[in-house]
Structure 1
């Protein structure tokens, strides 16, 4: 996905928080969504997850 280390780490962290376990397909999909929406920071990724209803 050519994502930054920060974005990759954030996607892993949020995948674990959202799924309560590591789901590889969810992680890849989530990371791709972050990249497609030009999300580059941890703060923006968390906000995006909340907007999508994935986090409270």
Structure 2
């Protein structure tokens, strides 16, 4: 039986949201998804937006 979290969160809710948005902005290819699959998934999730590839690494 669960008795709650094992430990307290180490990140504030605001910082966690910032980090999530940064990772999402990198796009699916940056996280190991093949480009053709990423485009298909992105099209299903956000059909009203054109696929925007993440900026090239500097």
Fold match by TM threshold 0.5: no
Given the two structures, how large is their TM-score scaled by the length of structure 2?
A: 0.30
Whose helix proportion is higher, 1 or 2?
A: 1
**Greater CA radius of gyration, 1 or 2?**
2
Between 1 and 2, higher relative CO (CA 8 Å, sep ≥ 6) is seen in 1
